[in-house]
Amino acid sequence: MAAIEIARRRFTVDEYYQMARAGILGEDDRVELIEGEIIEMVPIGTRHAACVRRMLHIFSTKIGDNALVDTQNPLRLGQNSEPQPDLMLLKPRDDYYATFHPRPEDVLLLVEVADTSLAYDREVKVNLYARAGVNEVWLVDLQAQQVTAYRRPSPSGYSEVKEYGRGDHIAPLAFQGLNIPVQDILPGD
């Protein structure tokens, strides 16, 4: 029996937007473009949403005008990927990125929150961010109640990986003076 080869059709970011303009993808569709594939995003649970809100509050109050705090909006990673991270700290711009979506060089910190999507976030998205050159990524693992910080990106991944638990403090590389208790990020049980 001969093996059947299945060809996958990969899309560019421009084609992805053409599908949206044509009504193929709706405004309420929870999808993102990852390496040319349109991926349906996992529904956001209450613990996930609470964690994103906690970080939004922490960063908005402690960083002020030193960064734009952005939640669940697109990040342009080249021609074939445009994920929607849970939270990003972006370099400030007067136009708030009205003319283009932020790119890796605009990101001071990127955060993904994982409740049921940990393996996908760690193995696919974190590696995608490393290859694109995103300087720092935090992966908040709600099940393990920890934050993993990924720093020093390269095409083969992040060369510095450190885990932080409830009793630890964590600070973004771009804001070393900001010492955040990990327990403040994680929703209570």
Report the percentage of the chain scoring pLDDT > 90: 72
- 71 touches 87 (CB < 8 A): yes
Longest alpha-carbon distance in the chain: 64
Q: Domains of the chain (ranges plus CATH)? A: 45-185 (3.90.1570.10)
Nearest-angstrom CA–CA distance, 174 and 189:
30
- On average, the pLDDT of the chain sits at 92
Contact 52/25 with Cβ under 8 angstroms? no
**What local confidence, expressed as pLDDT, does residue 188 receive?**
74
For position 20, what pLDDT does the model report? 87
Distance CA 81, CA 120 (A): 15
Residue 1's pLDDT is 64
Question: What is the reported pTM?
Answer: 0.90
Extended strands (E) in 1-58? 31-34, 37-40
Task: Taking residues 109-116, report their average pLDDT.
Answer: 94
Judge whether 106 and 90 are in contact, CB under 8 Å: yes
By three-state DSSP, how is residue 150 classified? strand
Alpha carbon 82 to its chain centroid, in Å, reads 10
Query: Confidence band (pLDDT; 50, 70, 90) for 82?
Result: very high
Query: Residue 85: what residue type?
Result: P
Per-residue pLDDT band at 71 (split at 50, 70, 90)? very high
Say how far apart CA 33 and CA 154 lie, in whole Å: 21
User: For the segment 127-166, what is each residue's pLDDT rounded down to a tens digit?
Assistant: 999 999 999 999 999 999 999 999 999 999 999 999 999 9
pLDDT digits (tens, 9 = 90+) for 33-59: 888 888 888 888 899 999 999 999 999
Token readout for 102 is 């932020």
Please check the confidence at residue 103 and state whether its pLDDT lies above 80.
yes
Report the range of poorest mean pLDDT among 25-29, 86-90, 119-123. 25-29
End-to-end Cα separation, the chain, in angstroms: 54
Residue 91 to residue 107: CA distance in whole angstroms? 6
Average pLDDT for 82-107: 96
d(CA 88, CA 67): 9
Burial of 185 per CB tally in 10 Å (0-12, 13-18, 19+): buried
pLDDT of 29: 83
Average pLDDT over residues 106-135: 95
